[in-house]
């Protein structure tokens, strides 16, 4: 079977191109903080340098157990720039299902919200290769101090990933047995994100609500990442609040919105979906 190879479809190439094309356009808005594409590119390079300084090497898996926060985005993009593999963890996991993913991933490092540290500690010594917890938030300055003291990874130090290299391992829900780790290549993520925008027929002026967490393939690749490929023309995603469990709009949570400009004739539609309880919710606006 022939393999199609195109250029410009890796995470690094996509985010860099977005930063060059729309440097001052908002790419992600968390309500408590908005970030332009230039910001995302800069933060990704700082995160990449920070993770590399901790010993993360190309091809290594790194667990990410965070709510919908800018730190999750930093880790996701930064790991891609150094050729490492992001392994997001469902923030509802406890006990044996968490142990399975931790051990099966082979990761020695987890970037984790302080609220979830006790769950990993409860696994005891039986947690595979995992030996380092890098803690985010809730009074801890572990990751924040490392990140803030690090300068951007030089452009020539970014790993020249091929589009069929693995950028993430997304675990299934495990409803019929132990969760399966599904390898996601750069090209798959790019194409999935691009087609998601096309399938939703997004156009300038659209508004839609997406109650999905970044640890989920749809929340991460189909929604947030969908803002970056060229056909999106600089769309922006908006995970709500700073990452703790958010209420639905009816319960008074902050309504976070973001732009979805396109080159097609302007047309305005409104869409809504029902809400659900997740570790962060997302709003999108054009």
Q: Which tens digits make up the pLDDT trace of 104-150? A: 999 999 999 999 999 999 999 999 999 999 999 877 789 999 999 99
Torsion sign across C-alpha atoms 127, 107, 220, 168: negative
Question: Between these two residues, 52 and 200, which has the higher pLDDT value?
Answer: 52
Query: Residue 284: phi, psi to the nearest 5?
Result: -130, 145
Residues comprising the chain, all counted: 286
pLDDT single digits (tens) 214-229: 999 888 888 778 777 6
Please give the pLDDT value at position 79.
98
Cα separation of 20 and 225, whole Å?
16
Residue 34 pLDDT level (bands cut at 50, 70, 90): confident
Question: Between these two residues, 223 and 82, which has the higher pLDDT value?
Answer: 82
pLDDT of 230 > 60? The answer is no
Question: Between these two residues, 62 and 219, which has the higher pLDDT value?
Answer: 62
Mean pLDDT of 163-171: 96
Q: How many CB atoms neighbour CB 286 within 10 A? A: 21
CATH of 11-285 given 3.40.50.300, 3.40.50.12780, 3.20.20.100, 1.10.10.10:
3.40.50.12780
Least confident of 187-191, 240-244, 246-250: 246-250
Pick the most confident of 21-25, 86-90, 252-256: 86-90
Please give the pLDDT value at position 98.
96
Q: What is the DSSP letter of 180?
A: P
**β strands within 99-233, DSSP E:** 109-113, 132-136, 166-171, 181-185, 207-210
pLDDT single digits (tens) 178-213: 899 999 999 999 998 888 878 877 664 454 555 689
- Report the chain's mean pLDDT, rounded to a whole number: 79
Query: Nearest Cα to 275, choosing from 245, 249, 254?
Result: 249
Torsion sign across C-alpha atoms 194, 199, 200, 204: positive
Residue 95 pLDDT level (bands cut at 50, 70, 90): very high
Query: Residue 184: phi, psi to the nearest 5?
Result: -115, 120
Query: Nearest Cα to 73, choosing from 105, 98, 48?
Result: 48
Please give the pLDDT value at position 259.
34
């Amino acid at each position: 079977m022939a393999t199609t190879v195109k250029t410009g479809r890796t995470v690094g190439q996509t985010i860099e191109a977005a930063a060059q094309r729309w440097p001052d356009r908002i790419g992600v808005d968390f309500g408590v903080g908005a970030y332009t594409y230039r910001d995302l590119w800069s933060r990704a390079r700082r995160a990449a340098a920070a993770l590399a300084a901790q010993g993360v090497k190309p091809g290594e898996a790194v667990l990410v157990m965070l709510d919908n926060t800018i730190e999750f985005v930093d880790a996701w993009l930064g790991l891609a720039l150094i050729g490492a593999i992001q392994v997001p963890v469902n923030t509802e996991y406890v006990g044996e299902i968490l142990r399975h993913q931790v051990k099966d991933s082979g990761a020695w490092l987890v970037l984790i919200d302080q609220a979830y540290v006790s769950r990993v500690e409860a696994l005891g010594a039986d947690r595979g290769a995992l030996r380092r917890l890098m803690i985010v938030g809730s009074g801890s300055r572990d990751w924040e101090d490392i990140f803030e003291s690090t300068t951007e990874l030089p452009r020539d130090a970014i790993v020249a990933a091929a589009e069929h290299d693995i950028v993430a391992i997304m675990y299934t829900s495990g409803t019929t047995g132990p969760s399966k780790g599904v390898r996601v290549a750069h090209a798959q993520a790019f194409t999935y994100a691009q087609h998601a925008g096309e399938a939703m027929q997004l156009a300038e002026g659209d508004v839609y609500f997406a109650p999905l967490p970044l640890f989920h393939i749809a929340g991460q690749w189909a929604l947030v990442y969908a803002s970056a490929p060229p056909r999106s023309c600089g769309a922006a995603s908006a995970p709500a609040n700073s990452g703790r469990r958010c209420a639905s709009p009816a319960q008074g949570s902050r309504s976070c919105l973001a732009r979805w400009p396109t080159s097609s004739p302007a047309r305005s539609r409104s869409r809504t979906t029902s809400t659900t309880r997740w570790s962060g919710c997302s709003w999108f606006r054009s």
